[in-house]
Copies of this chain bind each other. A is one copy, B any other.
Amino acid sequence: MPGNSFGRNFKITSFGESHGPVIGVVVDGIPAGLALDLNKIQAQLDRRRPGQSRMTTARNEEDRVQCLSGLFEGRCTGAPLTLVIPNRDAKPKDYEHLRDQIRPSHADFTVMARYGFRDHRGGGRSSARETAARVMAGVVAASLLECIGVHCYAWVHSVGPHALTVPLHSGLASRGTTSGYEHHRHCPFTLEQIEASPLRCPDSYASSLMEAYIDEVRSAGDSTGGTVVGWCQGLPPGLGDPVYDRLEADLAKAILSINAVKAFELGSGFAMSAGRASDFNDAILAADTKEWSSVETLTNHSGGIQGGISNGQPLWFKAGFKATATVAIPQQSVDFQGNAVKLQAYGRHDPCVVPRAVPVVEAMMALVIVDHVLGWPAAQLSVLLKSIARP
């Protein structure tokens, strides 16, 4: 069962191991004529890259994107677009001592059970380095979405116990049980605000608490989890399917396919399970234009999706990342000979990967949305393709 492709209409196929020659991705289904700027891809790769700040790992991977196919005079041709980044910082010997070890809460055991043997060097396909392929493809998706005014954002909402305080634009009090994002008609933060924090948390006070917490966690040889919010602005109503291929179902799959993600909630999510319809139904407001298609909702607990289909309100969701499993604290485990062992990681490891995961969340969000856009009823879709200027 081949499992390295994602998407039906905008299909990506990812390849490459963390310690092989390249990490790459083939993107198939791009409408011909789309202008693509490789610098945008590079910029997004740089956001995912380790070693951006002391908050993340000190490795300097310096990923440089190369295009192997599908681009002609700055435009996508409709042929498969292939993007790769050579692996430069591979140090196989760093991993030699792990050949026989089964690290707790890692994929060592399960990959062996699945495939019968494994490339022990840095996790092979299970390495988070694979997400670089997603980030590259995600920029192509985002470029398409920008043609119809759809923009994807993500930011760090919490690290360990510290969460940002959402500014309540509309002046309404936030419910204690929800995230507070349900009152916003526009993305509450700009990209600049997000990038101003080394943790990509656009709230300087929360960000400083998080920094201190990560420092403490690092000192303890430990690591911490966190949550990322994804936000999509400008989504027209009518995107998604009512049964299996619901927009939120495809999003959930996309987000849960990211390394270390263990939880997903759309809009007010689990908080809605603890409450009543009268608390969480989103009342509908008549539009000045008297057109039904222009109505808005008073709140947005639904996260922009009703019955699997976008309703024109901002789409927002939360992804829960567990702490990276590799820590300097000794852990009880077993080796592949069945002997009990104590494991302890040395070397460079992230105390908190959540800030680096922000562009990955953006990428998966853009991939899901563009996949639904390209499967759209054509009368609406033609608006998209008209806005792609042909050469």
Contacts and interface: CB of A to CB of B under 8 A. Distances in A.
A195 to B, nearest CB: 22
A14 B80 contact: yes
Given A107-B309, A262-B266, A21 B243 contact: no
A114 interface: yes
A2 interface: yes
Nearest to A217: B276
Interface stretch (A47-55, A165-173, A204-212, A330-338): A330-338
A241 interface: yes
Contacts of A244: 3-6, 14, 253, 257
A244 to B, nearest CB: 4
A240 B281 CA distance: 37
A107 to B, nearest CB: 3
A84 interface: yes
Contacts of A106: 306-307
The quantity of this chain's copies bound in the complex is 4
Contacts of A82: 15-16, 22, 24
B237 A116 contact: no
A4 to B, nearest CB: 5
A98 interface: no
B79 A17 contact: yes
Given A269-B320, A274-B225, A334-B286, A241 B3 contact: yes
Contact of A3 (B245, B331, B390): B245
Contacts of A272: 225, 262-263, 320, 322-323
Interface string A293-304: 101011001110
B273 A125 contact: no
A312 B113 contact: yes
Interface stretch (A37-45, A138-146, A183-191, A377-385): A377-385
Given A224-B275, A249-B257, A257-B308, 5 more contacts: A16-B82, A104-B283, A107-B306, A227-B273, A249-B256
